[in-house]
Structure 1
Amino acid sequence: MALYDDTLALLRELIRNACVNDMTPASGQEVRNADSLERFFDGVPGICIDRYESAPGRVSIVVTVAGTDPEAEPLTLLGHTDVVPVDHSRWETDPFGAEIIDGRLYGRGSMDMLFITASMAAVARDVALAGPPTGTLYFVGVADEEARGGLGAKWLSEQHPDAFSWRNCLSETGGSHLPVADGSDALVVVVGEKGSAQRRLTVTGDAGHASNPYGRVSAVATIAEVVRRISLIDLPVSQDPLWRGFVRAFHFSPAIEHALLNGSDNSAFEHFGELSRYAHALSRLTISQTILNSGSAINVLPSSATLDLDIRPLPGTTQEEVDEILIDALGDLADLVQIERLISEPASVSPTDGPLYRAMVDTFDEFFPGVPVIPTVAAGGSDLRFARRLDGVGYGFALHARERTMGDVFALLHSHDEYIELEDLDLTLNAYRSLARRFLGV
């Protein structure tokens, strides 16, 4: 009980520190959470604590619990300490008050991902207090995850790649349940994430006074046609085993399963219920038109217009293939459109085998005996992609009560009145404790 109480107290402190990352270099100020974490380990024997500051106040902390066997597999618990901004007017609770109401802890970052970060820290301290493990354990409280890690995990992987081991990493999130059609259970483990292929499409037109449009090429009209053609892109369903395994885990009827696996009827995605949007994103490359921009004065014909696209490719899709899809959709307009690559990162995925994956599956079975574990890919990003780039493996790991579906967890990410069920904090803490002991030989 003391371990849980200490974890809860730490979690509430991390929330109250309000390390809000608005994607500007001066925000975040994760130094506050780094200080809290360092105090949490104060007086613990057999550990080493290092701090890394990528910019003023943007501090990541690395706690090392050295193992007795340098040849044994290491384990890295990779938790981030920043949170996204809040709209105070939409919250019914204090977003940084860390209030406990009816078995729930409310606060920004409670679900994403401070409850996991606090559990990781508590388990690392517990392992250190129990005596040296066989394999080395690292706990990392990393800055700037919410802004894609430029001042956090990405910076560490490039500037200090040896600060900790990237070989076996755990981070957010997993361990929620699928609403299987026949009422049975299935647990989710995140083994990868889609990539990024952001694009800016630019067209030009004839500038001039808006009172004399005759004979002039309209950049606005051209970009409108670009928007229309992009919206008509019909992408095929993936044949990746992860997608096919995800569909089959739901035990749909043969007709529904066939429609989903072959892409013959898009309305079949409605059978996923609250997970329909996620399932659709998992099934294919997605293209979202997000920013349209042209002109600055109502009486001036603009000389250019731009359309920004948030494109998320699946593992195996190249940036060149993304450009080819766009060019094909543009047809005879392709020569009039400049395609600029913005953030472009490949998708990444870790194997559904190996020592760490098996340890996760065995841990899930300890808490939910006989329940199948379904590997899947996150539609968004996480710091785990940097581990995979450095030839390590990375998995999203946590644990939720039976009634908490994957959709329930998704709904709370970056939401108003974000909260974590205290029952799930306890489950995640004990799952990490069990997995660490199983994997490290504690």
Structure 2
Amino acid sequence: MSLTETAIELLRELIQNACVNDLTSDSGSEARNAETLERFFAHSDVSMQRFEPHPGRVSVAFTVEGTDPTAEPLTLLGHTDVVPVDRPKWTHDPFGADIVDGKIYGRGATDMLFITAAMAATTREIAKLRPRGSLTFVALADEEARGGLGAGWLAENYPTAISWKNCLSETGGSHLPVQDGSDALIVVVGEKGAAQRRLHVHGDAGHGSAPFSRDLTVGTIGEVARRICSIEPEVSSSELWEGYVRAFRFDSETEQQLLAGENYEALGPLARYSHAMSHLTVAPTVLRAGGAINVLPSHAWLELDIRPLPGQSQEDIDELIREALGDLADHVEIEHLITEDATLSPAEGPLYQAIVDTYDEFFPGVPVVPTIAAGGSDLRFARRLGGVGYGFALHARERSFSEVLEQLHSHDECVHVEDVELTTKAYFSLAQKFLGA
């Protein structure tokens, strides 16, 4: 069986194991995918480490020892959990891994099991070649819940168990719709942070039949929500945003509008992502007040999913919220939930250059455009521990960046067989070059 056929077969089994993470500690059951991978590597020249911080939440690392301890190591961070599905809205079995019209359907097909399978197949093949540098593939649990029982737990409790120096994970290698018909390839060099907030307000309790002259909590939280929705942060002035905009080769007027944070409609299906890439975003997502219809609630709260860019502090965000609240600021308690600074790796250096060289091997002469992810990945833990981390995959020319983004957590999630093949070949090629295999 060829390298790409091996990856496709493994991908289908990983999907079928249905390791659904509903963000509770007893979900996930990534032990099933860990056991699949342990069988996959059973007769390979790799060492294995198994981590289980909670029953069933298993991460497993497979290492090919290099022959030269001074050579650069490479670590592949794949995750094995997937998000839940709304079965009635799928037209294919979400855990059947059916191949239809050149696509493999299933939850996690794109996010990120096709890359995880490519990483595993590459690692098993590299084990036959005695590379100079060491290669580690880590199949991580709990990425969809921000890694508290996966990469985050490993980084905190066993930071030296694997190398974090040079890491690859999801995602990249899709194509920008350049205006003149030429091509450009995406590589992810960083990701926004987290600044989750819960805003509490308090008012008068009482019977629902007598609201006169009471401080109505629901009215206050409604006004708080309205003011929060009116927040309009400034556009980023970073080199990443400017390089991304210029890669589209718009006319000068459109380019200047975008650099000023205007006319996102020009980016078509990438408008929403591009806005998120270039701004701190504030999204009200949860509102709670009351329980019984005949009781005036004395407490209500609003939860905010806030994603800061590199360089934006938690203090900056609290001040932004207070400014938006105006005269209500003294009546609102700001509670911090998950808070993590944005992380960024340089668009240069040995691993970044290996990505550029690999892209050029498959798409000669095509420019590479560094971007920042609006969501999170396990790569942030590598960056915090002093390493570099990049999102890396490879898609066919027809696969635009927006098409790949639309697959994430979608109904009828799928990945093209061609993209599994390309990504597997790209990982194997990069690993050979970088490790001296």
Bin the TM-score by the shorter chain.
over 0.9
Q: Could you say which residue in structure 1 is the equivalent of 2:66?
A: 67
1:276 paired residue number: 271
Structure 1 position 224, deviation (Å): 1.4
Deviations 1:218-270 (A, max 9, x none): 1111111111211211211110110111111111111111111123x3xx101
Corresponding residue for residue 236 of structure 2: 238
Q: Does 1:396 align with 2:395?
A: no
Per the alignment, residue 195 of structure 2 pairs with 197
Corresponding residue for residue 155 of structure 1:
153
Runs of 4 or more above 6 Å deviation: none
Letter in 2 for 1:31: A
State the secondary structure of the residue aligned to 1:287.
Answer: strand
Q: 1:337: how far off?
A: 0.6
Counterparts of 1:261-340 in structure 2, within 5 Å, are 261-263=259-261, 265=262, 268-340=263-335
Could you tell me which residue of structure 2 aligns to residue 23 of structure 1? 23
In structure 2, what is the equivalent of residue 125 of structure 1? 124
Aligned residue type for 1:432: Y
> Which residue is equivalent to 2:370?
375
d(CA) in 1 for partners of 2:50, 2:231? 47
Identity of aligned residues (%): 64
Structure 2 counterpart of 1:144: 142
Give the letter for the 2:78 counterpart: G
Residue type at the aligned position of 2:23: M
Q: Hey, what does 1:169 align to over in structure 2?
A: 167
Is the counterpart of residue 247 in structure 1 residue 230 in structure 2? no
**Cα distance between partner residues in 2 of 1:111 and 1:308:** 29
Task: Please tell me the residue identity of whatever aligns with 1:5.
Answer: E
5+ residue gaps in structure 1? Answer: none
Q: The residue matched to 1:4 in structure 2 has which SS?
A: helix
Query: Is residue 387 from structure 1 mapped to residue 385 from structure 2 by the alignment?
Result: no
Alignment correspondent of 1:100: 99
TM-score (norm 2): 0.99
**Correspondence for 1:433 among 417, 420, 428:** 428
Task: Write the distance in 1 (CA, Å) between the matches of 2:49 and 2:302.
Answer: 44
Amino acid at match of 1:59: V
For 1:107, give the aligned amino acid: G
- 1:44 is aligned to 44
- Do structure 1's residue 416 and structure 2's residue 411 form an aligned pair? yes
Q: Distance in 2 between matches of 1:32 and 1:318?
A: 39
Aligned to 1:35: 35
Partner of residue 14, structure 2: 14
Q: 1: CA distance between counterparts of 2:99 and 2:239?
A: 41
Aligned pairs, number? 437
Distance 2:38 2:222 in 1: 54
Cα distance in 1, alignment partners of residues 15 and 60 from structure 2:
17
TM-score normalized with structure 1 length: 0.98
How far apart are 1:399 and its partner, in Å? 0.1
Q: Once the two structures are superposed, what CA deviation does each residue of 1:329-363 show, in whole Å capped at 9, x if it has no partner?
A: 11111111111111111000101011000000000
Q: CA deviation at 1:439?
A: 0.3
- Give SS of 2:288's match: strand
Query: Aligned partners of 2:369 and 2:69: how far apart in 1?
Result: 32
After alignment, is 361-370 or 214-223 more displaced?
214-223
Aligned-partner residue type, residue 139 of structure 2:
G
**What is the CA RMSD across the aligned residues, in angstroms?**
0.9
1:129 aligned counterpart, secondary structure: coil
Query: Quick one: distance in 2 between partners of 1:160 and 1:221?
Result: 48
In the alignment, does 2:177 pair up with 1:182? no
SS at match of 2:75: strand
What SS class does the counterpart of residue 260 from structure 1 fall into? helix
1:33-84 CA distances to partner (integer Å, 9 max, x unpaired)?
1111111111113x10111111111111110100011111100011001111
Q: Which SS does the other structure have where 1:308 is aligned?
A: strand
The residue identity in structure 1 corresponding to 2:347 is T
Output the CA distance in 1 between the equivalents of 2:43 and 2:214.
74
The CA deviation at 1:188 is 0.2
For residue 54 of structure 2, give the secondary structure of its aligned residue in structure 1. coil
- How far is 1:90 from its partner? 1.0
